[in-house]
Structures are given as C-alpha cells and as structure tokens.
A and B are shown apart, each in its own frame.
Chain A
Amino acid sequence: MGCSPTLHIDAPEVVTPQVYQTDGELVNDPLSVDLRCFNMGCAPAQSIIAPVSDLVALLDRLSRLATPPLLAALTASALLIVLVRNWRIALPALIVQYVLVGIMLARAIDPGVALIKPLAGSLVCMALSIAAQHADTRRAGRGESIAIERIRRIAWRSVPAQVLLRAVAAAVVLTAAFGAAVRFPLPGDARELGLGAYILISCGILLIATTSEALNIGVGLLVFLSGIELAYTPLEPSISVSVLLGFMTLLVGVAIAYLALADSEALAEPEASGGGLLRGRGAGRGAGRGARLSLLLRQRQPRAARSGPTANTPE
C-alpha cells in the first residue's frame, strides 16, 4: 500500500502566542496580517474588516484590565441570570457575560479568535430574544402573564420567597465553585480563568437543574458551555477549536430557540394524521372521530393526569 493521498483544505493549526505592541497595534500576527491585506485590496471588504479590526483591538485592550473586576462582573452576570428568570433581563445579562468571556479569553488566546465568542453569543441571544418575544406574543394572546408585565408589575409577595431560595442555592454553588477553583485549579498558564470557568459551569448546572422552561434551561446550557470554553480554550489555543466551539454555540442556540417556541404553545395534541395513512373514506372518518375522542378524553383529564406521557418517573 502506497502513501495515501491527502487533500488539504486549510492549514492553520495553533495560534501563535500574542505578539502585540503595548499600544494595542496588531502586528506579527497571521490573522491581523491577513486583515490588512484585505484592507488594501478591496474597498467593500474594507468597510467590514475595519470595524472587526477595531473590535479586535478593543478586546485586546480590555483584556489588560485587572482580573478581579472582570471576575466580579462575570459573577454578577451569572447571579443575575440565576436569580431573575425573566428573559428581558437574562438575555442582556447573557450578552454582557459573552463579552466578558471574550475579554477573558483574549488574555489567553489571540483576540481575533476570542472575538468569535461574543459575536456568536450575541447572535444566539438575538435568536433567543426573537423566539422569546414570539412566545410572549402567543402567551399574551391567551391572557397569560408575560415577561414585560412581570417587570412592570412585580409581585412583591411571591418574589422574595423565590429569589431567596435561588439566592441561597446560588450562594452554595458559588462557594463550591470557589472551593473547587482553589482545590482543583485548572491546568494551563491562565489560572485566573479557572475561577471564572468554575463559576459559569456551576451556575449553568444550577439553572438547568432548577427550572423547567425550555428557554431558562437553554440559557443555563449556554452559560455552562461558556464555562467549558473558558476552561478549555486556554489549554488548546487553536483557531479550529474556537471556531468549532463558536459554531456549536450557534447550533445549540438555534435548538434552544426552537424548543422555547414549542414550549410557549398552549397544550394541544396534534390532530391525529391517520387520514394520511388510512385507505378509504370510511376509514378516514373513523380516524378523525377516534382522534377527536382521544383529544376530548385528554382535555377532560386534570392537568396532572394529562402530563402522564411526559412525566419524569416510571410507572
């Protein structure tokens, strides 16, 4: 057997260490060189590339901020998401969190690559907000409570109990995250990112475990994935990993938006589609009647009984 032929589609493997000047000018970096080449050659591309270069430079400068304020802001955003289960507050907080994660990643990897995270995160948040808005419109049509109303007219009687419970759980989880960061520090040079990663992972899991709505679970999952990215990217600072993780964030975001929309619909069984499978008119009529009977029976059952097929426990 001879040498097997090879098709190379792309070459970049590992991002070179940061080689930026202190004033933030991007030099000696393959990515920035490519950007400058684009800038020289093509006017329409220039209009797109120039802001991206500015964003990269901005991210690079922000990454030089002291660690404690960044960690404090990251913790605050995570806490806000855990405590307030309202998408009009949680999604902006999630965008801020993505920017903070991007800034922290820029301390360990090329800012041009770290920029993928806030960009992908912002796109996901946009998709989620559209889905959530759509869901709220449907709920409003049914006369149910929606996010904006819950902000305008806060139910002060029930809020303290809910928030207090979540706050206690969050405090326990944050303590555990801090303990884990001290006892099991993540490997790699950028150790300060370890605490941030633990905070995001633990808050993400807490959110997933304590909510039942698809949108909140999805936000928890995205927070969890940000934590994983914060922990893993410094260990393998390659463009391909960052690109694929960004792509994965987008895919997960799309899936969550779809589930959030489905979750917002009123409880309704899909009309039995037996007609498509059945032969003959009589059979079709029978199918419709059977389905309607089934639906009627289901609607007459109390809510707890209706959720039988979706219950979490085995019979």
Chain B
Amino acid sequence: MRKLNILKTIVDWFWIISMLSVPLVIIMIGFVIVDDSNFGIPLRVNGILYEEFNANTKLILIASMVSYLLSLYAIYLFKNVLREFQKTKVFSPKVSDSFYKMGIVLLISALLTGVPSFLYRILSRLKFELEFGLSPFLLLLCFGLFFMILSEVFKIGQHAKEENELTV
C-alpha cells in the first residue's frame, strides 16, 4: 500500500496545483474572448501559440479550455478511485463507474484537443502537416479507451466478488 500512498500524494498535489490555475486560466480566456487581447503575454495551449484572435481562434481556444477542464475532472475522478483503493474497496460499483466516466471524459477531452489544434494548424498556416510520435491527442485517446476497458474488467471483478460472497 506504500506505492498507493505515494501515487495518491502525487495526484493530490497535482490536483491542488491544477485547481489553483483554473480561475487564472478562466479569467485569461474571458479577457481574450471579450477584449481580443492577451496583454502581451504569449498564450500557448496544447503546443500552439495563439498570436491573433478572431472567431476561429476563439472557438479553438474555448475547446482547448473545455478540454483542460475535462482533464481536471478526470484527475478528480482518479483521485476518488485512489481513495476507494485506500479504503480497500477495490471492486465497488463506484470504482467501475468512475473508470467509465474517466474514459468518456478523456475521449471527449482528446477530441476537443486534437481536432481544433489540427484545424488551427491548417487554417492559420494554410498548409497540411503530418506529425509523428506520441501526440497528446493519441495518448489521451488511448488512455480514454484504456479506462473504459478497465471499467469493464472491474465490473467482471465485481461480479466475481459478489458470487464469491454469496457462495455458502
């Protein structure tokens, strides 16, 4: 359980630090949307530097922002799952439900990150680029699907546990 405690501590710290950044990011995005300015501070979201602000850029920025908030929600769910593990409630419906929700949230987050960034690259640079390697889009997509599979595995485990408990 020592490893679990270490992981829980790391996730908790990451969660606290992320929560501190949320109001700041929301205010910043609000200014960008309303005022069309970034106060000279370079704004980089998911590896893309936003220099000029028009309707398209704003939409992409909002999508990235929602994606970021969804990722934070996924971390919050993960935190809850780790808490359940600490209580040694491994095969509970809460855990499998949380894994499923995490999967869905990460999939949506991946789509909100990947599709607008791809479109922005095409629209802003007017050229088609191919990028190889582990992109955040692919990683998030894989994690999302992995968590959904994990949810199914935990449901099977939950069923087995229930059967074991009801075997006399």
A in complex with B: no
- Chain B interfacial positions (CB closer than 8 Å to A): none
- Chain A interfacial positions (CB closer than 8 Å to B): none
